[in-house]
Structure formats: C-alpha cells, structure tokens
Amino acid sequence: MDAAAATLGLSTAALRVELRAGHTAGQIADEAGVSRADLAEAITSASDERRAASVAAGRMTQAEADTRRTELREKITAGLDRVRGAGRTPRVPDGPRHPRRGHARGAGPAQA
C-alpha cells in the first residue's frame, strides 16, 4: 500500500479513502498521470526484499523467487481495475458469520 501511494503521489490514508470510495487503483493511476505499468512495478518491487531474504535463507531458490515475482506482477496488473472488496460478503456486526451456514456471530450451530 505504501509503495502504491508513493507512486501515485498520495498518502497511504488518502489512497485508502479513494479505494473505499469505489475507485480502482487503475482509475486513481490514470487521474494521477501514472502509467498502470509503473504502478504495477512499484507494488511488485515492494516485495522484492522479502523474496531476496527468502532466497538468502534457503527457503526458496532464485528461480522460484523469479516465478513468484512474475506471478505477483500478473495478479497486480489484473487487479488494477478491480473494485476493492468486489465479490466479498460485507461484514455485518450482528449478522451471519457465514452466508451459507446462517448462524449468528458468536453462536455455534447448536445455538443458532
């Protein structure tokens, strides 16, 4: 989030407000005059340090790290035009915990 906000010239809080308002990261980039490729690269690069540390610690090979970076970049690029939270069931404080099971939050199946 920090890398995306910095690339867009926004604070992290301002970016969150825009996303919660229903704007996509791609729309925000267009409005800021930032290419979607630059935004995707900034977000992808933000996780390079963690992958490098995993390679150095022997938790993955460099080839695996490269593959994961490519996969991440593809997911980020595909997600730039997705509305945040799209397709998710909104949380309701006293509503169902799981839409298919139907029990109230905190109540087990026998108590529902």
User: Residue 111, SS3?
Assistant: coil
Q: What is the pLDDT at residue 105?
A: 53
pLDDT for 10-55, tens place per residue?
999 999 999 999 999 999 999 999 999 999 999 999 999 999 999 9
Tell me the percentage of the chain whose pLDDT exceeds 90: 72
Burial of 31 (0-12, 13-18, 19+ CB in 10 A): exposed
Q: What is the pLDDT at residue 16?
A: 94
CA distance 73 to 82: 15
Q: What is the pLDDT at residue 15?
A: 95
Residue 112 has pLDDT above 50, yes or no: no
CA distance 44 to 3: 9
pTM of the prediction? 0.68
Phi, then psi, of 38 in degrees rounded to 5: -65, -40
Residue 99 has pLDDT above 50, yes or no: yes
